[in-house]
Structure 1
Amino acid sequence: MGDGPNHGEKLSPNCAKEMEHHAKMVSEDVRNDYRLMKACKEPISRNCKSEMRDKYHGNLLGCLEDQKPTLKGSCLKHVKDLQLVSLFDYKFNNDFLMMCSGAVQTYCKADDYGREIKKKQDVMYCLRNQLTQPTPKNKEPISDECKNQLRAEFLKQMSDLDLDPQLLTACAVDLKDTCRLDGFDDKTQVMECLRKNELKLTPSCKDKVFVREVQQAEDPDIDPVLQKSCSVAISKYCSDSKGDELLSCLENNQHKSGVTHDCKTTLRLRMLKEHSNYLLNIGLRKSCKDDIKMFCKSTLEGIKKGTIQDGRGAVISCLKDNFDKISIECGDSMTTILEQEVVDYKLDPVLSRFCADDIEASCPDVPDDQVEACLRDYIMVVQSEDCTKQVVRLITEAHGDVHLDALLMRACQKDIGYLCGRVLPGKGQIIECLQVNIMYFRL
């Protein structure tokens, strides 16, 4: 029947050893791969001249990887093949080996069973997990060079699903039925499709997608869609923002000039996720860590047991219910959440779910930033008991902070600045200031 390769057979030990040696040689100097050099002759001569002259030839592959979106045909195939080979053993990625070998030997040499960790993806996640832990006193911290290389490797993985075999396996069904791989010219949009269709995903795929979302929330530099769609806004308003601060900076500046429609669309999807699951809101996760443990213990236990879905905003809803008890730092983060939901009620997953029918009946043509005010006005005709509870919460929140009443804030903005400029927001203090001044006005 045909003379194609038999993928069902393993290589003999001698052959496997020689192939490993060849892969190592290519990783150290990509010019040892004759087929790649021939297939990629044009893009190398056009864009990688300095890398060809560089004594450290491993950079030549990096140059080709940077051009991957524009590569075609056999050149693209060979570059991708080298990337896939490096997944089987991190030592086949020379850049990663040079920058992170010390950290790998210190922290990720073997797993809990004493087995050597070889697969690059396993090593990457091991190092990433170590970065979230305090550095042991008797060990050297992971170097900045390794951190930067690790970020670069994750960015490559986030930009090409083929470099994430674990996610491909977990989402095999979803990538056929919900977000077909061949349905997108830009492969980074496949991940966006999986994000948007979270409720349709299989459990295994949902878990893997969530891991990616947490990674990108913690480090937006490895979020290729955000970096591309918001590049102008980042350079104009957020060039000094580091780590998870970048997303907050973009959210705070999203209505300014120069922020494109694509950027706003990308931001809104991430904001929807932030408001649905507190683990994706890194600022709130940090500032409310102790408050969540203190006031939301039963909620956390319900999530752990599977009786509560935090993807529906359970923890953030708990913090809202305990708003008058939480710490000042947590209160500041929650106020930001509440202010964003005033402008776009759909960011509140609990309100959106429980009040969908009442919004359709009583506020069908009302702009998003006035829906909460509309529900307050029509509270007496709200049909759902669950929705009524949410509207009562809105009234309580608005009484505590004028910034949470969009109509009042819009009407009194100048007066607040002139008469109550020195009054701190929260605990109803600005509303009290306005009430005092309206009495003077009447007198």
Structure 2
Amino acid sequence: MQQMSMAEEYNQQGRDLYGLDKYSEAMDWYRKAEEADPSCVRTYMNMSELYIMTKQLDKAKEVLNKALYLEKDNGEANFHLGNIAYMEGDHKAAASFLTRAYNSQYSNPRVAYHLACLYIDMHKDEQALFYLNKLLKEDPFQIEARLRKIEILIGFQKYEEALRNADEMILLLPDTFEGYHYKFVTLLGLNRYPEARETIDSAMKLFPDDLGFVYDLIKYYEQVEEYDKALALIDERFQASKEDWRSIRKEKAKLLFSMGRADETRELLEEIVSEDYDDEMCFCLMQVYGGFGEYDKALDCCEKMIENGSENQYYYSAVYHEAVAYDKLGRNKEAEEKYNSAAQLFRAASGRHRGMLGLYLYRALCYKRLKDYERAMEMVDYLIAVSDGKFGEAFYVKGLICEDLCDDQKAKEYKEKGLELSTVLSHFFSL
């Protein structure tokens, strides 16, 4: 039998102490191991694990780089360095280290999963899907990986493929609720409403205590425009519980908003935004104020969303509607400045967020307000082309541009087509 080296023995003793949460003592033994044999890679890996656990990331990086100096293709060291870079927000370095780990002989499935999560955060869903598929091929029972894959497929509107994966998940893991939820979501996306209702009914029998399926049923009622049933279900299942009510009242506000019940919507939204600020709710309240012609209050909402600073759809909407509010308040010089700066911001943002087609729509509206009709038309024509003629709002805005150009016949045709394609325009409060 081969005798254990001193470094190996010290490492083993350090691991025992680490397992007892005696981190300081464990590090003492790891240092003994380093003194006994500075070329033992395992020592530095053990040290890095302890440093990561105690959130001493700079020290962890230092010992991991020692490991790589000794063994440049060490997959475990690359994996940990990739995760540290990920935690520190350095996505480029994280991708480099994790890819090296994946390409090494370190075949821990966590590498593929972390790479997938990283690419999701980088909005590179195709690469994320590649690693999720690799992981699921090795282990079909990886719940988180399958969920992430289904979410990406839904985001790509690949509902048939998402449905197949949801069915596989139900087959492989019948006791987990997520498969039923995502099957329901994909069936809604495919407009297969009777099957969606059957799925949710089955799920509610299997998981009677899961409020998530009550939310899904509310979504179902919204989708089939049975708004009264959705409101009744909200009041019946949630209003009695203060905790649950705080979470569902946003959904009720959106329902009232969709139904055009402006006074009730306003009252509830003002309550929500004052107690529990939320970009989406502030956006809805802005639209309600616009519907009432209270543009000063709408402007306040825009400023709140911009101040919040999250680069999401509501932030960009606020940037555009801030200019509109100044316009409606007769503050023309400020409005023109805001339209110009908004158009520039949307142009830069559309390069960073290729999938955010709404940015092109806002650019078109800004150019229209600035009477740059050629650029405005370019934007809507691009949207119509890239969406295969399915972007209703683009047709509607094209109609508005034609109105400005005194082409009333085309304006009427495009606006009608926009209303026909869009589920939003017909009941939208617009500034």
TM interval, short-chain normalised: under 0.3
What TM-score results when the alignment is normalised by the length of structure 2? 0.25
* Structure showing the higher helix proportion among its residues: 2
Higher relative contact order (CA 8 A, sep 6+): 1
Q: TM-score, normalised by structure 1?
A: 0.25
